[in-house]
Structure 1
């Protein structure tokens, strides 16, 4: 079921990268209208979607690698949530200093990190049983 979810997320991300950015900004940023997203960021999101979709369809090494990376990334988000802001700002925005992050972003990033770790562990357990 996780593979199907990731596949659907990958397809959505591939087809609607601008909408993904809008949702991200609505949740994470206080002043989205005052910031300019890098022109190439939509392409980066689209590539991420393609990788997610291919990994979900193949269920081989790429999928296992992606899940391992997801778990590692989740642990970093959980233990160092402010690092997300320091990475996401320059990655997403042309002028990251002008970004005002929502006050509850840190808690949300921690929750996402915990979910990523849990998903990676559940997938690892599934792969070890197979």
Structure 2
């Protein structure tokens, strides 16, 4: 069930990357739309969606690797949430210094990180047949 959900999420992300950026900004940034997003960022989001969809369809090594990476990334987000701002700012925006992050972003990043860790652990149990 998780694979199907991730596959659908990957397809959705690949089809409407600009909408994903809009949702990200509405949640993470004070004054969404005020900062200029890198022109290539939508393409990067689309590529990520394609990789996630393909990995979910295959349920092989690529999917296992992706879920392990998700768990590691989630642990980092959970324990060092401010690192997300330092990475996301230059990755997403042309002028990362001008970005004003939402005051509740740190708590949200921790929750997302914990969810990623749990997803990875549940999937690992499934793959090990437990």
Task: Give yes or no for TM over 0.5.
Answer: yes
Please provide the CA RMSD for this pair: 0.8
Q: Which runs of 4+ in 1 moved over 4 A?
A: none
Q: How far apart are 1:32 and its partner, in Å?
A: 2.0
Query: Does the alignment pair 1:95 with 2:95?
Result: yes
| Aligned equivalent of 2:70 | 70
**Greater fraction helix:** 1
Q: Supply the distance in 2 between the matched residues of 1:82 and 1:66 (Cα, whole angstroms).
A: 23
Q: Supply the distance in 2 between the matched residues of 1:33 and 1:91 (Cα, whole angstroms).
A: 16
| Aligned equivalent of 1:104 | 104
- Runs of 5+ unmatched residues, structure 2: none
For residues 56-96 of structure 1, what are the alpha-carbon distances to aligned partners after superposition, in whole Å with 9 as ceiling and x for unaligned?
A: 10000000000000000000000000000000000000000
Query: Does the alignment pair 1:23 with 2:23?
Result: yes
Q: Supply the distance in 2 between the matched residues of 1:36 and 1:15 (Cα, whole angstroms).
A: 21
Give yes or no for contact 2:25–2:33 (8 Å, CA) kept in 1. Answer: no
SS at match of 1:38: coil
1:1-130 to structure 2, matched below 5 A, reads: 1-129=1-129
Relative to the length of structure 1, the TM-score reads 0.98
Q: Supply the distance in 2 between the matched residues of 1:37 and 1:8 (Cα, whole angstroms).
A: 25
- Runs of 5+ unmatched residues, structure 1: none
Count of residues in Structure 1 that have an aligned counterpart in Structure 2: 130
